Amino acid sequence: MGRVVIVDHPLAQAILTTLRDRNTRQIEFRKGLVRLGRLIGYEIVKSMDVETVEVETPLGVKARGVRIRDLDHVVIVQVLRAAMPLVEGLVKIFANARMGVVSARRVEETHRPGSLDFDVEITYVKVPRIMEDDVLIVADPMLATGSTITSVLSHVLKYGNPKRTLVVSVISTKYGIDRVLSRYPFVEIYTVAIDPEINEKGYIMPGLGDAGDRAFGGS
Ligand code: URA
């Protein structure tokens, strides 16, 4: 069922503060996103079922431990280009994930100032087949109006019907979250912060600016 998880670990909040700082430069910004991807990954693992297993150690004795079956059934889809560093961090946790990409662009040219609705141009979709026991993670660092992510989800979910569908973002807005959940009530949203406003150009306020430009350079 749909839910919103705020990753409120102090380290995640401290990294986010660095990302918000206008003085944080490109390389540090990218590194921060990687580190957040890893921390969000840890948080996601907490929601996965754990089963007890027994192994034999080199000393010839049994040791009880755990196995997380879902780790072998993760599909990660990244929205180009801003999600790339975030996914680099997620993959450190979900090392066996099958991966997909979607190239999506908010069409600024047709946007009416003040409107919270954007046309979204999807130019490339490459997603592995999604199985019924998969946990699908769709990563996009900024969930502002929800226009991009709902459009991306409509394409990605054509590839199968996963057990769980997670949207991973760094900063979200209530408007964007409500929009995603009203169209896809089963989605679980993992985010590090929920910011109060969206400006007339569709940017999250206070936000962190344009995540793609800050990670990779101006458009
Ligand atoms: N995309 C961004 O990169 N930043 C925002 O604030 C909103 C969308």
Q: CA angle at residue 195 from 146 to 109, to 5 degrees?
A: 45
Cα 24 from Cα 29, distance rounded (Å): 6
Cα 110 from Cα 121, distance rounded (Å): 11
Cα(51) to centroid(ligand 1), Å? 39
pLDDT score of 84: 98
Q: Are 194 and 142 a contacting pair, CB within 8 Å?
A: no
Q: Which atom of ligand 1 is nearest to the CA of 202?
A: 7
% of the chain residues with pLDDT over 90: 92
DSSP 64-101: EEEE-GGGGSEEEEEEETTTHHHHHHHHHH-TT-EEEE
The structure tokens listed for 144 are: 């502002």
Cα(210) to centroid(ligand 1), Å? 5
pTM of the model: 0.96
Segment 165-176, tens digit of pLDDT: 999 999 999 999
Cα 73 from Cα 5, distance rounded (Å): 21
Q: Is the pLDDT of residue 44 over 80?
A: yes
**Strand 135-139 and strand 98-107: pairing?**
unpaired
Listed in sequence order, the residues at least 6 apart from 59 whose beta carbon sits closer than 8 Å to its beta carbon are none
Segment 98-132, tens digit of pLDDT: 999 999 998 988 988 888 889 999 999 999 999 99
pLDDT score of 219: 60
Segment 2-34, tens digit of pLDDT: 899 999 999 999 999 999 999 999 999 999 999
Please give all residues whose beta carbon lies within 6 A of any atom in ligand 1, as ranges.
82, 142, 144, 203-204, 207, 210-212
Cα 216 from Cα 20, distance rounded (Å): 16
Q: Which atom of ligand 1 is nearest to the CA of 208?
A: 6
The DSSP symbol for 111 reads: P
| CATH code for the part of the protein at 3-49+69-216 | 3.40.50.2020
Which residue shows structure tokens 């010839």?
A: 60
The structure tokens listed for 23 are: 């003085």
| Average pLDDT score over residue span 81-104 | 97
Cα 209 from Cα 189, distance rounded (Å): 21
pLDDT score of 143: 98
pLDDT score of 114: 80
| Average pLDDT score over residue span 182-192 | 98
Cα(140) to centroid(ligand 1), Å? 10
| Average pLDDT score over residue span 32-57 | 98
The DSSP symbol for 49 reads: -
Q: In this structure, is the dihedral angle defined by the CA atoms of residues 179, 11, 97 and 48, taken in order, positive or negative?
A: negative
pLDDT score of 108: 86
Q: Which atom of ligand 1 is nearest to the CA of 210?
A: 3
Local confidence band at 1 (pLDDT 50, 70, 90 cut-offs): confident
Please provide the average confidence, as pLDDT, over all residues in the chain.
96
Residue nearest to atom 5 of ligand 1 (CA): 203
Q: How many CA atoms lie within 13 A of 72 on its CB side?
A: 4
Neighbours of 141 (CB within 10 A): 28
Cα(46) to centroid(ligand 1), Å? 28
Residue nearest to atom 4 of ligand 1 (CA): 210
Cα(142) to centroid(ligand 1), Å? 5
